[in-house]
Amino acid sequence: MTANPDAPFRVVFVCSGNICRSPMADVVFRRIADTSGLGAHIASSSAGTGDWHVGERADHRTLAALERLGYDGSSHRARQFQYADFERNDLVVALDRSHERVLRGWARDDDDADKIALLQSFLSDAETLDVPDPYYAGAPMFDEVLGMIERASRALFRQLEPAIRSAG
């Protein structure tokens, strides 16, 4: 939990370019937190390991997949993960093992490294630890990826919820 008990628990979701998977995870996790009544005690964001899309909106297929399930990702703007994100966040959630490797390479110390987790690792029955990149696929893959992210985000939230409730 955060050093300051009054501060929200901060989570950043990280993928490659911050236009597909990590914005989905941020939007989904935010909805879960808000629906649970803990929205004020949790802050989430997203970032990419690369800088290719900085300042851009989420991919139109990401936005469409989110919209089909009643989510709104329209305010998202891509950004690149920065070293300061380790300091600003309590948990750094990678969407696949390549992101995890990059983040571990960027970690300056054990405290940074200890904050890194794979989203799928929160599922006890995950078939894979990687959420696949839908960028080079069609709309059905975006929907499939969103479903994976919803399931894993609910599992992540269930793990965090007791500590956040007791701190709040």
Mean of pLDDT values over 138-164: 96
Helix (H) / strand (E) element for 51: namely none
pTM: 0.95
Whole-number CA gyration radius for the chain: 15
Structure tokens at 119: 């989203």
- pLDDT per residue as tens digits for the range 41-73: 999 999 999 999 999 999 999 999 999 999 999
Q: What is the pLDDT of residue 168?
A: 63
Instruction: Check pLDDT > 90 for residue 9.
Output: yes
The 8-class DSSP code of residue 15 comes to E
Compute CA 143 distance to the chain's CA centroid, rounded to the nearest angstrom.
16
Instruction: Check pLDDT > 60 for residue 3.
Output: no
pLDDT band at residue 11 using 50, 70 and 90 as cut-offs:
very high
Among residues 21, 30, 31, 61, which one is catalytic?
A: 21
Instruction: Check pLDDT > 60 for residue 110.
Output: yes
Proportion of the chain above pLDDT 70, given as a percent: 96
Per-state percent for the chain, helix, strand, coil, to nearest 5: 50, 15, 40
- pLDDT per residue as tens digits for the range 23-40: 999 999 999 999 999 999
Mean of pLDDT values over 156-160: 97
* CB-based contact 81:116 (threshold 8 Å): no
Among residues 90, 133, 143, 151, which one is catalytic?
A: 133
Distance (Å, whole) CA 32 – CA 106: 29
Among residues 15, 30, 79, 96, which one is catalytic?
A: 15
Q: Is 18 exposed, middle or buried (0-12, 13-18, 19+ CB in 10 A)?
A: buried
15 tagged catalytic: yes
How many C-beta neighbours within 10 Å does residue 4 have? 8
Instruction: Check pLDDT > 60 for residue 2.
Output: no
Instruction: Check pLDDT > 90 for residue 5.
Output: no
Instruction: Check pLDDT > 80 for residue 86.
Output: yes
Distance (Å, whole) CA 99 – CA 35: 29
Distance (Å, whole) CA 3 – CA 45: 19
Q: What is the pLDDT of residue 120?
A: 98
Mean of pLDDT values over 105-133: 97
